[in-house]
Structure 1
C-alpha cells in the first residue's frame, strides 16, 4: 500500500493527474499504512460506573488517531455536499439554461451507472455494493463518496481511488471512444452560438431545481441543494464575499480533509484483494459506457435536428466538470479548427453533475441507506 501511494504521488506530481485530489489521497494512504503510527486508530472506549450517579456509561480510555476524527466528515456525509457547494459557486449554468435539451445528454450519460450496477450484481456484489460501484460511471468523486459512505463504507477506499483516477484520466479515456462512435463529418459540425441568458434566469434556475428535485427525490437533497446554493451565491450578486469564500478557502480546506481521509481508508486488508481489482475494472466499464451513452444520444439529436448538434458534446454528460467539456472542445477542434464546442459541451456537463446526484439519490432511496 505504501508503494501504491508512491505511484499515486508520482502520477499527481510528475504527470499532474488531478493533483489537487491525488496528492492528499496518496499522502493519506501513506500515513494510514505506516506501521505503528495509528493515524486511523479508533478510540478505545470502556463501560464504567459513574462515581457520582452510580450509572454505567461509556468512558474514552484512549483517543483515536488524527485521521480517524477527520474521517467522520466523510462517514457522516458532510464533506461531499460541501464540495458540491464549492462546485456550484464555480460553475456557470448559463449553457444549460440557454439549451435545455442538453439535459437529455447529461441523462443519457448516466446509463453507465445502471449498466455497471447490473454487471456488479452478476459478479456477486450485493445491491448496496453494486450501487456504490456503478456510481463511478458518473465521473463525480463527491457523489461516489457520498453514496458509498451510506451504502458500502467498507469499499470507500477502492471506490474513491477508482473514481478520482478515472476523473483524472478523462483526456486519455474519452477521445478514443469519441472517435470510434462518430464520423469525421459529425465531428466537424459547427454549432450555432447560444443565446444570452439573463441574470433573472440564472437566479431562478437553482431555486427551481432545488425545489423540484428535493420534492421528487428527498434523498438527493443534500447534494443538489448544496450545489444550487453555491450557484445562487455566484449568480445573485449580493453575497460576493460568501461566493469567493466557498470557491476558494472552504473548497480548499474540505478538499484537503476529504482527500486525506479517503486515502486513509485504503488499508491493505481491504485494498489488496481481488474484489478491488473487480471494482477498478467495473469503474472503467461504467465510465466508458457513460461516455458512449452520451455520444450515441448526441448522434440521435444530430439526426433529429438535421445536423445542428455535434455528437461530441454528449461525452461531456459524464459530469467531470469542466474537464469533460474541454475534451469535447479539443476533439472537435482537431476535426475542424473553426469548432468552438466548449460552451455547448458545458450544458450536458452541468446536467451530468445534476444527473449523477439524482442517480445517487435514486440508488440511496431504493436501498434505504
Structure 2
C-alpha cells in the first residue's frame, strides 16, 4: 500500500498540476490563450495567425510539456545554440529557427505580393505620402518606449507594432529583441484585428463632416506595362537606398511581379496559397510557443500592450492629418479619411475608410482610393523595418 501511495505522490509531483501550483502564472497564461482562441474562432479576429499563436501559447504554458527550449535561442552571445537545437530540440525548436533566422516573414511577404494590386498606388502616386505619414506611430512609439526605460533595440521592436504589419513586427523583433517576440506578436496581431474598432473614433475626431463627405474623382486605368515595371523599379530603388529592407521589399515585389507578369501562374498560385498557408502555420505556432509565463507575464508585457495601441493611434492620426493637408492643398479633392488606410493592415484599413465615408454619404465610394495608401503602407512598414534594423541592429 505504501508503495502505491509513493507512486501516486511521485506522479502528482511530476504532473503539470504541481507546476501550476508552483507558478500560478501558467494558469493565467492558459486563460489568456483560451481567450485568444475564443477571439480567433468565435469573433474571427485574424484567425489565420491568432489561432496557431494562441494554441502555441497554450502548449507552452502546460508545465512539463517542454514544447520549446528558449534557452537554446536566448544565449549570452546573442546567437542561437544550433548544436543544442539540432541535438536536443523538438518540433517547435526546429520551426522557431525559421523565425530566428528571418525566413518566415519574407516568405509571407512573397505571398502578400501575389495578392496585392499596386494599381491604385501607381494611378495616384501621391498616396505614397499617406502611407509614409502613417508610419508616424512607429517612430513616436520608439521614443515613448525609450522614455519608459526600454533599450533602443526593444523600443524599435515595440514601435514597429504601429506599422500594423504582423510579419514585419516579427521580423524586426527577431533581429533586435527576440526575448520580446511573443508579447509583440500577440499585441501586433490583436491590434490588427481591432483596426475597425480603433481607427473610426480617431478618424472622426480629426475630420469634419464636410471633409468626410468629399467624393474623389475616379482613378485612371493603369497599364500592364506599368504594373510590371513598378515592382522591379521599387526593388532597385529601395534596396539601393536601404539595403537592410531588401529581404522584405524584395520578396513582396517578387510576389507582385509573378502576379502581374502573368507568365508564372502556377508558382504564383503556390506562393499565394499553399506556401503562404504552410508558413503561416509554422510562424504562428512557433511564435506562440515563445509566450511562456516565465517570459510573457511581466511588467514589460503590459507596457508593450499599452504602447502598441498608442502606436496604432499615432499611425492612424499621422495618415489622416496628412490627408487633411492634402485636402487643403488640392482645394477639397482629397478625402482625409483615406489617410487612415496608410497603416499596413491590408485590406482591412481601406475597408474602414470606405465604411466611415459611407456613414456620412452612402453614395461615396472610397475603397479604391484608400487602397493606394493601404498598399503604400505595406511598403512603408518594410522600409521602416529596414531603417530600424540599420540604425539599431
TM bucket, shorter chain: over 0.9
- SS where residue 363 of structure 2 aligns? coil
Q: By how many angstroms is 1:270 displaced?
A: 1.4
Calculate the TM-score normalised by the size of structure 2.
0.89
Matched, 1:31 2:59: yes
Kindly provide the CA deviation profile for residues 274-320 of structure 1, in whole angstroms up to 9, marking residues without a partner as x.
11000110010011000000000000000100101000000000110
Please give the alpha-carbon distance, in whole angstroms, between the structure 2 residues aligned to 1:335 and 1:301: 20
Is 1:229 aligned to 2:254, yes or no? yes
Matched, 1:155 2:183: no
Residues 183 and 291 in structure 2, CA contact (< 8 A), matched pair in contact too: yes
Which runs of 5 or more residues in structure 1 are unaligned?
Answer: 45-57
Partner residue of 1:268?
293
Q: Which residue of 1 aligns with 2:68?
A: 40
| Cα deviation, residue 36, structure 1 | 1.5
Query: Given the alignment, which residue of 89, 109, 115 partners 1:64?
Result: 89
Question: Aligned in 2, Cα 1:256/1:237: closer, same or farther, shift over 3 Å?
Answer: same
Give the match for residue 211 of structure 2: 186
Structure 1 residues 339-366: Cα deviation after superposition (integer angstroms, max 9, x where no partner): 1111100000011110111111011001
Q: Is the partner of 1:11 in helix, strand or coil?
A: helix
The Cα of 1:322 is off from its aligned counterpart by: 0.5
CA-based RMSD of the aligned residues comes to: 1.3
| Mapped partners of 1:110, 1:341: distance in 2 | 21
Aligned position for 2:315:
290
Which one of 379, 382, 393 corresponds to residue 354 of structure 1?
Answer: 379
Number of equivalenced pairs: 355
Deviating above 3 A after TM superposition, structure 1's stretches of 4 or more consecutive aligned residues are 58-62
SS at match of 1:16: coil
Partner residue, 1:316: 341
Q: Which runs of 5+ in 2 are unaligned?
A: 1-28, 73-82
- The aligned counterpart of 1:329 is 354
- Distance change >3 Å, CA 150–CA 188, structure 1 → 2: same
CA positional deviation for 1:62: 5.4
In 2, Cα distance between the equivalents of 1:59 and 1:278?
A: 33
Give 3-state SS (helix, strand or coil) of 2:215's partner: coil
SS in 2 for 1:289: helix
CA-CA distance at 1:41 after TM superposition: 2.8
Corresponding residue for residue 85 of structure 1: 110
Which of 306, 329, 342 aligns to 1:281? It is 306
Between the aligned partners of 1:249 and 1:29, the Cα distance in structure 2 is: 24
Kept in 2: contact 1:129–1:152 (CA 8 A): yes
**1:3 alignment partner, one of 24, 27, 31:** 31
